[in-house]
Chains A and B, each alone.
Chain A
Amino acid sequence: MAEIEATTGGTLALALPFLAAAIAPIAKRFLGAHAAWLLALAPALAFAILFTFLPTVADGGVVQFGYDWIPAFDVRFSFRIDGLASTFGLLITGIGTLIVLYSGGYLKGHRDQGRFFSFILMFMGSMLGLVLADDLMTLFVYWELTSITSFLLIGFDHDRERARRGAIQALAITGGGGLALLAGFILIRELAGLNSMSEVLAAGDALRSSPAYTAIFVLVICGAFTKSAQMPFHVWLPNAMEAPTPVSAYLHSATMVKAGVYLLLRMQPALGETVLWTTVLPIFGAVTLVMGALLAVRATDIKITLAYTTVSSLGLLVMLIGVGTEAALIGAVLYLIAHSLFKGGLFMVAGSVDHGAHTRELDRLGGLARYMPITFTAALLCALSMGGITPFVGFLAKEEIYHALEHPDAWHVFLIAAAILGNALMFAAAFIVALKPFVGRLPETIHHPHEGGLTIWLGPLVLGVAGLVGALFSETYHHFFSGPMASSAIGAPAGIEISWVPHLNLAFALSLATIGLGILIYLASNAIRAATGRTLAAIGWGPDLGFDQAMRGLLRVSFIATRRLQSGRLDYYMTVTIAVITAGLLVPMIFAGALPSEPKVPELRFYEWIVLALILVGIVAVVIAKNRLTAIVSLGIQGFATALIFMLLGAPDLSFTQFMVETLSVVILALVMTRLRLSPADHRPWRETLPDAALATAGGAGFGLFLLSITQRPFDPVLSDFFERYSYAIAHGHNIVNVIIVDFRGVDTMGEIAVVMTTGLAVLALIRIRVGRRDRAPADPTETTP
């Protein structure tokens, strides 16, 4: 196999979308909506780079490149471009270019258009990284990045409750699946010792024969099914329609939802062909296919219709991958590419209709063909491909699918029945979206329907035409795009011969039957819509509602737990914290017999005795102080004396810090006291202060004894020797303490200053809480209506 190094090009292609995302807000500020043309250069250039790898990949070659990431754990930041990755990458960057342009027109004048560009380009970069990733951890990182960036995209209109809900739902479901995937990858790494996709694919039966196969299978499937919206995880996909249309056109055609399908295709040679695989996948797929298509016909919003057809298409793909024969995988690959093209186009059409007619409701649309001829043409091109009519790529896919499923046993009959029913429903859905709004009479509610600008109609038109060209020149199409992709999925070179010229065979007959059924459904769509609606109303419960119930349950549990654990009373927290620490110190010491022996009275100089006496005076003053301010200042005396001791014992750094901390604590404590408007003195009776005093004494005794027992052990000088020897030699610093803080243990310090800052933020937030609201108990979040 010819393998070439392509580090520079590949890295550039991966980085370009992120770079563009970084400059997007600035570009938007200076160029307005025209920034789209500049920003679209990034995915276009990435597309061109991937294109240069195409000859290698088409000949069965693999392009690999990468960097070391965490060598200690064999984690690399590595990528691999084979047929599967290449075609996916081209779809992502190609459609991505059109989407960026489309967003330029669609969101023209939107306040946050720059931010939108940023989000969608970040998402694009994540998705590209996902399909090109070789190392499992790299793949996982990109996988979760797509979840996070899609969360940002779906919740883009964050002023709207429904958009926020859709975003959280998508994040919870796909992010949760991502965690399952992480567990699966860790199992693969730990039990099978395989760190990258290349190794997984080269390992043959290693995973299939592994005792952990079932666990790996379930975890990987969880990841794939949540991302690719299989029932019952599909709910996030239609709810993600709250996002602006360019997002739907991108996420739900070639990218986000295809990530799961990509993973299944990728893992098929290593995990597939087992009983588990060939049973579970087709069943979930078939159910998703039919249910999704039914719900698609039921919807009245054309965007929701398209969303459910996407669910349905994903079901079809999962079903085919589950069947796993060569023909089935070829069918899946052909359908995947076709679907990316026509679905991306149709979503953009839906956006254009919304843009031109200001509604997406089917019963308020009609007669737009005269006003929006280009959009209508694009819609028809895409719908014909989706309906599987020759000469479009959708036709090639459908023929291949039926060809793959034509076996005379009951299992295949079940699958083919599901495929025909699903495809017929999707056929109807395609024309509901692409024909209904354009024919008939223009409703009076639509004023001045109009075609969008160049950027609006360019995308759908290009994708529609691509679906036609791909089928007309099927040999080139198979050689460069579908062939290499199918070969990667099968794990052996695949020969695809299907062309747009129909042959009279069983598959074609089934195709005709599908179209016939599809036309019937289209004509009866109103009746079907009503019937499905009634059935759903009768059931009354669905996964969407289930999601809400689960979230409410989660909130409820955390609310109860919080109320138990967080009383909101400072004295309670202090008591619990000190009691636990004291018990942790004293109990092991007493029961393990590790109490320190009685210390000798050290020989101290007279001024050292004075300092010790100062500490005692400070403590006694705290205890007997008549008012709080005196107590705080007395505490400061004790602290200063301690700082003096540090100074005398030769730890100037420590002493210095102690002085400053003491000063600031006295100042801040005094400020807090005035702020809280406490009474100047503590008026609690003895029976309340006595337990506190006992606890404080016990705590002090615990710490004192603990420190004593530590100092009585032999001193291990390994660390101090090390720091003494190397502090100046390799870190150029004489002050060992400082060198440790900023250099040897710099990562610790980084964590600590992050904590300091977060604490500052938290304190600031606490101070800003209005006084009036402080006494009220927090509301039960589950009682508020969503």
Chain B
Amino acid sequence: MRTIIFRFTAPYLTALMVLFSIFVLLRGHNDPGGGFIGGLIAASAFAIYGIACGVAAVRRALYFHPMAISAAGLLFAVVAGLLSIPAGTGFMTGLWIFPHVFGTELALSTPMLFDIGVYLVVVGGISSIALALEERESD
């Protein structure tokens, strides 16, 4: 599958898909999208990159081990749930703040942090499986 065209376009495609996945993740609360779908898109992006340019390149690009990314996601999700305890409400009660940055109102919340956690878990989990399988292909 390592044709020149594929190898040439794959990095651009991957970058676009990762960007798109983040877009999907962030818009998820109000429009179709969310952490799970975003995670799947990013995972397929890395799978494509792996098929085109080899697993080593993906691992270098990811920097962290995919499983560590996944674990960090789970940590984010749990922390997002725990944050409401010091605030005096029950576990996983959503907390919202609306800071103004450069004149724009941003909606930041623990559900968003939680969704980012979901995103990372899915990216890490699926990528680690896909990468491990791709790696084996060559030996």
A-B contact pairs, 14 of them (CB 8 A): A656-B33, A660-B41, A664-B40, A664-B130, A671-B137, A674-B137, A731-B111, A735-B31, A741-B34, A742-B118, A743-B92, A743-B94, A747-B92, A750-B77
Cβ of A753 and Cβ of B33 under 8 Å apart?
Answer: no
B122 at the interface (CB under 8 A from A): yes
B110 to chain A, nearest CB (A): 9
Other than the known A671-B134, A757-B124, A760-B125, what 9 A-B pairs have Cβ atoms closer than 8 Å? Answer: A732-B96, A734-B29, A741-B115, A743-B111, A756-B70, A756-B122, A760-B126, A760-B129, A767-B132
**What residue in chain B is nearest A730 (Cβ atoms)?**
B94
Bound complex: CA A767 to CA B122 (Å): 19
Cβ of A742 and Cβ of B40 under 8 Å apart?
Answer: no
B13 at the interface (CB under 8 A from A): no
Cβ of B118 and Cβ of A753 under 8 Å apart?
Answer: yes
Bound complex: CA A663 to CA B46 (Å): 13
Q: Which of B43, B73, B117, B121 has the most CB of A within 10 A?
A: B121
**What residue in chain B is nearest A655 (Cβ atoms)?**
B32
Bound complex: CA A757 to CA B92 (Å): 20
Known: A675-B136, A742-B115. A760 touches B124 (CB 8 A): yes
Which A residues form the contact surface with B (CB < 8 A)?
Answer: 652-653, 656-657, 660-661, 663-664, 667-668, 671-672, 674-675, 731-735, 737-739, 741-743, 746-747, 749-750, 753-754, 756-757, 759-761, 763-764, 767-768
Contacts of A675 in B (CB 8 A): 133, 136-137
B30 at the interface (CB under 8 A from A): yes
**What residue in chain B is nearest A749 (Cβ atoms)?**
B118
B19 at the interface (CB under 8 A from A): no
Interface membership of chain B positions 103-115, coded 1 if the CB is closer than 8 angstroms to chain A and 0 otherwise: 0000101011011
B111 to chain A, nearest CB (A): 4
Known: A660-B40, A749-B118, A767-B136. A732 touches B107 (CB 8 A): yes
Known: A735-B29, A753-B73, A768-B132. A759 touches B125 (CB 8 A): yes
Size class of the contact patch on chain B: 35 or more
Cβ of B34 and Cβ of A746 under 8 Å apart?
Answer: no
Contacts of A674 in B (CB 8 A): 137
**What residue in chain B is nearest A668 (Cβ atoms)?**
B130
B132 to chain A, nearest CB (A): 5
Contacts of A741 in B (CB 8 A): 34-36, 115, 118
Bound complex: CA A668 to CA B94 (Å): 36
Known: A732-B29, A733-B29, A753-B73. A738 touches B34 (CB 8 A): yes
Name the contact of A667 in the complex, choosing from B35, B36, B47 (C-beta under 8 A).
Answer: B47
Known: A667-B44, A764-B67. A746 touches B32 (CB 8 A): no
Contacts of B78 in A (CB 8 A): 750
Name the contact of B133 in the complex, choosing from A668, A733, A734 (C-beta under 8 A).
Answer: A668
Contacts of A747 in B (CB 8 A): 81, 91-92
Known: A660-B41, A757-B70, A761-B67. A737 touches B125 (CB 8 A): no
Bound complex: CA A764 to CA B37 (Å): 22
Known: A731-B94, A754-B74. A764 touches B40 (CB 8 A): no
Cβ of B32 and Cβ of A653 under 8 Å apart?
Answer: yes
Cβ of B128 and Cβ of A652 under 8 Å apart?
Answer: no
Cβ of A742 and Cβ of B111 under 8 Å apart?
Answer: yes
Main secondary structure on A side of the interface with B = helix
Q: Which of A732, A746, A767 has the most CB of B within 10 A?
A: A746
B98 to chain A, nearest CB (A): 10
Known: A674-B137, A734-B31, A750-B78. A664 touches B126 (CB 8 A): yes
Cβ of B130 and Cβ of A667 under 8 Å apart?
Answer: yes
Residues 69-91 of B contacting A (Cβ, < 8 Å): 70-71, 73-74, 77-78, 81, 91
A538 to chain B, nearest CB (A): 55
**What residue in chain A is nearest B117 (Cβ atoms)?**
A753
Name the contact of B74 in the complex, choosing from A672, A735, A753 (C-beta under 8 A).
Answer: A753
Bound complex: CA A757 to CA B122 (Å): 8
Contacts of B92 in A (CB 8 A): 743, 746-747, 750
Contacts of B24 in A (CB 8 A): 656
B87 to chain A, nearest CB (A): 15
B28 at the interface (CB under 8 A from A): yes
Cβ of B74 and Cβ of A660 under 8 Å apart?
Answer: no
Cβ of A732 and Cβ of B32 under 8 Å apart?
Answer: no
Bound complex: CA A732 to CA B96 (Å): 9
**What residue in chain A is nearest B120 (Cβ atoms)?**
A753
Contacts of A735 in B (CB 8 A): 28-34
Bound complex: CA A276 to CA B44 (Å): 67
Contacts of A653 in B (CB 8 A): 32-34, 37
Bound complex: CA A731 to CA B95 (Å): 9
**What residue in chain B is nearest A647 (Cβ atoms)?**
B32
Cβ of B94 and Cβ of A757 under 8 Å apart?
Answer: no
Contacts of A732 in B (CB 8 A): 29, 94, 96, 107, 109
Contacts of A660 in B (CB 8 A): 37, 40-41, 44
Interface membership of chain B positions 10-22, coded 1 if the CB is closer than 8 angstroms to chain A and 0 otherwise: 0000000000000
B133 to chain A, nearest CB (A): 4
**What residue in chain B is nearest A759 (Cβ atoms)?**
B125
Bound complex: CA A186 to CA B104 (Å): 54
Contacts of B30 in A (CB 8 A): 733-735
Bound complex: CA A573 to CA B79 (Å): 37
Bound complex: CA A768 to CA B128 (Å): 12
Bound complex: CA A754 to CA B1 (Å): 34
Cβ of B133 and Cβ of A753 under 8 Å apart?
Answer: no
